[in-house]
Amino acid sequence: MYVLVGGAGLVGLSLAQKLLELGHTVAIIDIDPTACRYAREQVGAMAFEGSAVSTEVLLEAGVRKADALAAVLRNDALNLAMVTLAKHYGVGHILSRMRHADFAEPLRLAGANHVISTIDLAVSTMVNAIEYPQVESMMHFDRGQIEVLKLSIPNSCYAANRSVAEIARNPRFPAGSLIIGYQPHPHKDLMVPNGSTVLEPGSTVLIATKPVSLHQVIDFIEGCK
């Protein structure tokens, strides 16, 4: 994919680096010549010096051929303008960072497919780390209607050395929850388990569940040490 990133700040450069590692072609737009030089020399992305809300710069950067665009500029008004122009030029997938909640609806109306609040994301991550210290990571989907937890299987837990099917049949395992990922060892690839997959002690699982079942899932895995 050809991805345009508006803004060569910490978020923009980190995003570009991750996308390049995944094999995408990335171009960054920023008014700072030093940031553009860093993007070229240290990150390996293409970089266009100028305003990301300038039609001339956007066209030079290839906005018409872009498969996706991420607006991560220094303020919401600039991101809104970039999203509007990206939609005008026919970019199919548009993402925007948002600082203030008042811009959420305008960004969506302007054409952003995804609006990401960096403040909400950081706060949510810290709250989860405080409330659920045993959870390695937690992801939210569909505005928090589904949670995906990453948990380790303790050596002395009921789930250790049992199959996914056995665990699913246990009445203490919350209904509507599902083990969707399994990593037997940190150095092995994550796999999609089936009913016969046996969970080894010390392995890691991904479990999808409803928010109301979070504590039940954690207690099931962690509470039986």
Which of 63, 117, 52 is CA-nearest to residue 92?
63
Q: Are 119 and 127 in contact (CB under 8 A)?
A: no
114 shares its domain with 132: no
Distance of CA 29 to the CA centre of its chain: 22
- Please count the structural domains in the chain: 2
Residues of the domain holding 31: 2-118
Res 145: pLDDT: 79
Tell which wins on pLDDT, 136 or 188.
188
CATH number of the domain within which 201 lies: 3.30.70.1450
Q: What pLDDT, in 10s, does the model give residues 53-96?
A: 999 999 999 999 999 999 999 999 999 999 999 999 999 999 99
CATH number of the domain within which 82 lies: 3.40.50.720
111 shares its domain with 171: no
Res. 44: pLDDT tops 90: yes
Strand spans (E) along the chain: 2-6, 25-30, 46-49, 68-71, 93-98, 114-117, 137-141, 146-152, 162-163, 178-183, 198-199, 204-209
Is 15 part of any domain?
yes
pTM: 0.68
Is 106 part of any domain?
yes
- Choosing from 62, 83, 118, the residue where a domain stops is 118
Residue 163's DSSP bridge partners are: 198
CB neighbours of residue 218 within 10 Å? 17
Mean pLDDT of 216-222: 85
102 shares its domain with 40: yes
Q: What pLDDT, in 10s, does the model give residues 100-129?
A: 989 999 999 999 999 988 777 677 667 666
- Choosing from 62, 85, 118, the residue where a domain stops is 118
Q: Are 225 and 156 in contact (CB under 8 A)?
A: yes
112 shares its domain with 51: yes
Which of 184, 180, 224 is CA-nearest to residue 203?
184
Give the side-chain half-sphere CA count within 13 A for 82. 32
- Choosing from 64, 98, 118, the residue where a domain stops is 118
Res 106: pLDDT: 96
CB neighbours of residue 35 within 10 Å? 18
Res. 225: pLDDT tops 50: no
Mean pLDDT of 172-200: 90
Lowest mean pLDDT among 42-56, 77-91, 164-178: 164-178
28 shares its domain with 109: yes
Q: Tokens for 19, please give them.
A: 């996308």
